[in-house]
Amino acid sequence: MLDWLEYRKELLGRIGEVGKLSPDTLRGYQTLSAAGGKTGHLDAKTRELISLAVAVTTRCDGCITVHTGEALKHGATREEIAEALGVAVAMNAGAALVYSARVMDAVAAHGGA
């Protein structure tokens, strides 16, 4: 698959380059990323598990490598990660079902039987 640790290192280097070219963009991202941690409603591990589920639904390899490391750092187990990923799978299946209903509605609107 991927050398996830090397990919993370290379990715963070490239993001650093983007930050030099567009510092406000990077600062804006960092502000958004840190905002959830300031409320204290969810612990860091829970936020990282959510991040992993979202990373799967958005198909973001960079998010996967960064948030896997962070989830493990905050004490997430393989089982907890797998459960969070199960939620992502269910959400993707649910979204596909919802959009399947939309297709059938479009079929009807186009005069299909």
**Confidence band of 1 (pLDDT split at 50, 70, 90):** confident
What are the pLDDT digits (tens) for 33-90? 999 889 999 999 999 999 999 999 999 999 999 999 999 999 999 999 999 999 999 9
**Residue 101: predicted pLDDT:** 97
What are the pLDDT digits (tens) for 14-24? 999 999 999 99
Identify which of 64, 51, 58, 54 has the alpha carbon closest to the alpha carbon of residue 5: 64
**Residue 46: predicted pLDDT:** 97
User: What structural domains and CATH numbers belong to the chain?
Assistant: 4-109 (1.20.1290.10)
As given in the structure block, the two tokens for residue 60 are 């973001």
The pTM (predicted TM-score) of the whole model is 0.87
**Residue 74: predicted pLDDT:** 98
φ/ψ of 76, rounded to 5, equals: -65, 140
What is the residue-wise DSSP string for the chain? ---HHHHHHHHHHHHHHHHHH-HHHHHHHHHHHHHHHHH-SS-HHHHHHHHHHHHHHHT-HHHHHHHHHHHHHTT--HHHHHHHHHHHHHHHHHHHHHHHHHHHHHHHHTT--
CA 55/CA 70 separation, integer angstroms: 13
Tell whether the model's pLDDT for residue 100 goes beyond 90: yes
